[in-house]
Amino acid sequence: MKPASTQQSESSVQKNISFFKENLAAYSGHVETLDTYKNIRGFTNQALAGIDRLLDVGNGGTFDYDVHLVRELVAVDLFLTDLSQAGFPPHVELKNGSALDLPEPDRSFDGVLMSMLIHHLVGKTLDECRSNASRAIGEAFRVLKPGGKLVIIESCVPSWFYTFERSVFPIASRLIGMCIEHPATLQFTPLYIAKLLKEHTADVELTPIPRGRWLLQYGFKFPSALTPVQPYRFVARRR
């Protein structure tokens, strides 16, 4: 399931497949009902305006946006062909594949979406996590047509928390793997993700998405007031 060229750890790959495949209904229910994700839906819909052919990377079997905004939609994740096509609109094509090695040709989409994906691309080390984020963004730009738009919706943290997160990552990632069903994650600052985008284009905009009272932390409904996590929307155009 994991291409040999990636640096995502095998345990991360398998736990992502297991968690999102087995908890699809519950996760989709949270996305549809929690107030923070309603805000995310509105900001995503706004960014998808004008896109004709969209690649949704790391889709997870869930669409937190209006799929009818685009004419053609290809959804890619590690397990999607295990799902029944009957549960999806006819203009949606499901494919198996990794965000780090997209099964799509160069310059084939005028829009790419990564929604709550990057923090799941966890490697065994911090350097591998950073490399995975960079590679996923590079792959997205590879499949974009000139002038095409990359939209990233991502859970970000302030710099002070990122410093803490980096210091505990080696131990925390192992403990999370042993104690809970949800895979380990690593959240970046919004400026770090913007920096990765600017390696490909100068046309980058980032927008904080208002939090509601609730959001998801490791798959659990959690009061947003008790976490530093902030969702952001990034929009970048290929040169």
237, 76, 66: which is closest to 144 by C-alpha?
Answer: 237
Q: What is the arithmetic mean of pLDDT over 11-16?
A: 76
- What integer is the mean pLDDT of 74-91? 92
Residues 47-62 pLDDT 10s: 999 999 999 999 999 9
Q: Give percent of the chain above pLDDT 90.
A: 73
More reliable by pLDDT, 200 or 27: 200
Helices 159-179 and 126-143 meet at what angle, rounded to 10?
100
Q: Is the pLDDT of residue 15 over 80?
A: no
* CATH number assigned to the domain covering 10-159+213-237: 3.40.50.150
Question: What proportion of the chain, given as a percentage, has pLDDT over 70?
Answer: 96
